[in-house]
Amino acid sequence: MTPTNQIPIVDSHIHLFPATHLKTLSWHNRNNPLGTQHSVNEYRHATTANATPLLRGFIFLETDRLSSITDSTSPNHGWQHALDEVSLLTRIALGTPVPGEGHAPHDKTLCLGIVPWAPVPGGPDVLSAYMEQVRGRTGEEVWGKVRGVRYLLQDKAAGTMLGDGFVEGLRWLGREGFVFDLGVDARSGGLGQLREAVEMMGLVYGGLEGGEAVTIVINHLCKPNLRLVSDDIRSHSEFLEWKDLVTKMASANPRTYMKLSGAFSELLPLEAESEPDFRAIVERVQPWTDVVFDTFGADRVMFGSDWPVCNIGGGGNDVSWGRWRCVVEEVLERRGLSEEQKRGVWGSVALRAYGIEISRFHYHEV
């Protein structure tokens, strides 16, 4: 059996932004703990601070730039900031860094996939126009790395997912072969977001042939309330409703996937100085991870670090990535997964979901 630290990892969910782009992030302010540069240099440090995994690479997710559904000349709206982010990832993928951006030419093969922001509620015509501009930014050499899009829903008004433009936009993504990353927040945004997502999936998938259906990759276990206090979490009404809704998402279509990521944001924060009790963390998250594996199956679950957001609750950049990796290792052990299933969660599921083809032996010892 191959040791876990020798299984090549595809990190299915990271964010990157240089200091020069901070003011274009919708969530940025001077007190935000993420309000400094987080680029490939910092990511490499995070992945190697406590272990040396075999890292195939990462899939980049958009960072919630200031934007609007339709293009605009306003400096804080429109598509400009999101497209500038695409240009940053293009430079990373081509190995042509601008001084100070925090990456080097040899980093280019780390970038396996790019999932930019897109104005999904605008519908097919708006999406098509926007994606043409994305293609103009990437050029043909990098365009193939654009594997999907995200329009973050955790902070949007109720009903956004049910609009005709949104539903038809997702159907357009399916026809064009793009994945949609679904970001909802059960703990902070409420279970109503998950109810709406289930209803949206019914509208999107209803009446479609299998080959036309959009692949939906759900982020961060839907951000469940991992801070619930109960003598029996599994019988708590909030957990039971989360379980029911996630089960419906898993059964909506075989092209729905779940990311095993984001839990450090929903747990109580860990200290940087002392090693946590990993067994206690795994036991805390196990009711939720059991539901995910029971409903999606190991062949539709993928590892993601949610770097650098994981640093906030995970104890900082020196330790958080490695800590989450340890938690996931123990989760997989407790599930009794086969070696092939483990390889899937650590990498091949993400490659299949996003339609990424790379050499079997293409990895980086970072």
Distances (CA, A) of 88 to 100, 107, 131, 347: 12, 13, 16, 24
How is residue 175 written in tokens? 């026809």
CA torsion angle 252 255 256 258 (round to 10): 150
Tell me what pLDDT residue 52 has.
63
Its pTM stands at: 0.95
Query: Which structure tokens are listed for 67?
Result: 């934007």
Distance CA 256, CA 67 (A): 27
Q: What is the distance between the alpha carbons of residues 337 and 346, in angstroms, rounded to a whole number?
A: 12
CA 360/CA 56 separation, integer angstroms: 9
DSSP string, 134-146: HHHHHHHHHHTTB
For the domain spanning 8-356, the CATH number is 3.20.20.140
Per-residue pLDDT of the chain in tens (366 residues, 90 and over written 9): 455 667 899 999 999 999 999 999 999 998 999 999 999 999 999 998 866 678 999 999 999 999 999 998 777 789 999 999 999 999 999 999 999 999 999 999 999 999 999 999 999 999 999 999 999 999 999 999 999 999 999 999 999 999 999 999 999 999 999 999 999 999 999 999 999 999 999 999 997 766 679 999 999 999 999 999 999 999 999 999 999 999 999 999 999 999 999 999 999 999 999 999 999 999 999 999 999 999 999 999 999 999 999 999 999 999 999 999 999 999 999 999 999 999 999 999 999 999 999 865 444 444
Domain boundaries of the chain, sorted by first residue = 8-356
Q: Which residues pair with 307 in a beta bridge?
A: 14
Give the 3-state secondary structure of residue 180: strand
pLDDT value of residue 5? 62
- Beta strand 216-218 with 179-182 is parallel
Q: What is the DSSP letter of 112?
A: E
The β-bridge partners of 150 are 117, 181
Task: Give me the helices (H) in 261-317, please.
Answer: 278-296, 310-314
The encoded tokens of residue 63 equal 């960072």
- Give the side-chain half-sphere CA count within 13 A for 308: 22
